[in-house]
Structure 1
Amino acid sequence: MAVSVSVLALLTLAACGTESGSGDGDGGEGGGGTVRSDVPVTGVPWSVDSVTAGGTTTEAPPGARLEIDAKGRATGDLGCNRVSADARVDGDRITVKRAVTTEMACDQNVQKFEQALLRVLNGELTAELSGRKLTLTAPDGDRVALSEEPPAALLGTRWEVGTLLDGKKATAVPADLPAGSVPYLTLSKDGTVQGNSGCNTFRATAEAGDKTITFGPAAGTRKLCAEPAMEVERAVLAALDGRAAYTVEGGTLTLTAADGQGLAATAAAPRGPRTLPDGG
């Protein structure tokens, strides 16, 4: 596997005066709601919309997310790499320090976005919540725009696999897999699952319950690929073998089989990174 992500050292956070849930503002997209001073940001999955740094606003790539959980851990996806950080939440102030990231090779545009985001998420930020929109603003005016992320639908969503799980070990799917070999799965209402396991396409039965999915034997194509893709394929198919527990949190699906084999996947989004004029 090209890049191994052992369990990241998640740093303890102090979360003061916060609670889970959405803000009370009645403004939706586009603002206009009540801005709260005691901002409830913990326990909410936030999708990163854009970052503004040095007067330039860059739209986030698909899968960029940030969350501070109820236990006081800040984790997220930058668009390619994962991040954990030491953060302190105090009223409408969030202080972020000592971010730790994985070191995957990424698309150049995504890399630039990640670098800009990490520059802004460093130090004390002012949090403003309007409806389901959260803005984190640095003293120099640089800012990150986020939206509260509703849970993606389990069925009908294209889930793109980004992380492979083996007990307590998490391994990132290599970013340099050949085109058409990025693993994904889509569960359908007819009780089937289909997708790509990293090399071959596959199809199987999939009986979804409230907390578990029971997968039948997979059938698919039988072409041979380079070893990194075949290694991913073996891990994906191991996670989709028999009964697996699942959770959907925001746009992230996690599947874990009884033997600890599993995967984490994000809901595919139709947008991509692009640079806009400030305020565009």
Structure 2
Amino acid sequence: MKFALALAAPALLLTAPVLAATQRPLPYKAVGTEPGWTLSIDRGLIRYVGDYGRTKVTTKAPVARPSFNGLRYVTRRITVDVTRVRCSDGMSDRVFPDKVTVKVGRRTVSGCGGNPIIASAPAIAGAWRIESVSGQLTRGAKSASITFSDDRVSGNTGCNGFSGAFRFERGFLTAGPLASTRMACPPRGMAQEQAILGVLGQRLSVSSNQNGKLVLSGRGQARLVLSPARRD
């Protein structure tokens, strides 16, 4: 009996990582750039759209095989490798928990998968420079900025100042209503102001990356990228 138990124990140690590796929340999504592609695993199907929409594959999702620090899905048409390591998508400044490699035919592309890593409440506190809004770098005589302190938010769009209350709950930021000054600015400055306040008017997911930036993401392409403000 003791001999049988001694054999069983290593078996349990071997199967535990396998079970842990196969437990990934669904639906699972991944994205890559250059060329742009997206992938989803949900409801028993793998759906891949690559080459900016020119390549499309939909196939039945097999049982995932455990691989080194991750999972592998192997089908006749597509192979998907998910590796548990932090990954930046190179476009939005967001950081994801997984690196994802997709092979379709002779073509192999790489990107990131899983839900973006969420910033914690202390991570957003302090002063930030608004680096870009919806993919456009901010410009103006004044630096676009934002500060989070306790339950208050304040800042400048590069044109007018703004302030108001905000809530940060479970990785989501809700600001407003926001009050702002009404100084007239050049058309470019006014357009930038409308874009910034438009993003801040949405419920935003907040993620952080390894460069110390925050990414506030709303609907579609609505996004603010914040970098730590320089201290004089």
Relative to the length of structure 2, the TM-score reads 0.48
Q: Which has the higher contact order (CA 8 A, sep 6+)?
A: 1
Structure with greater helix share of residues? 2
Tell me the TM-score normalised to structure 1 length.
0.40
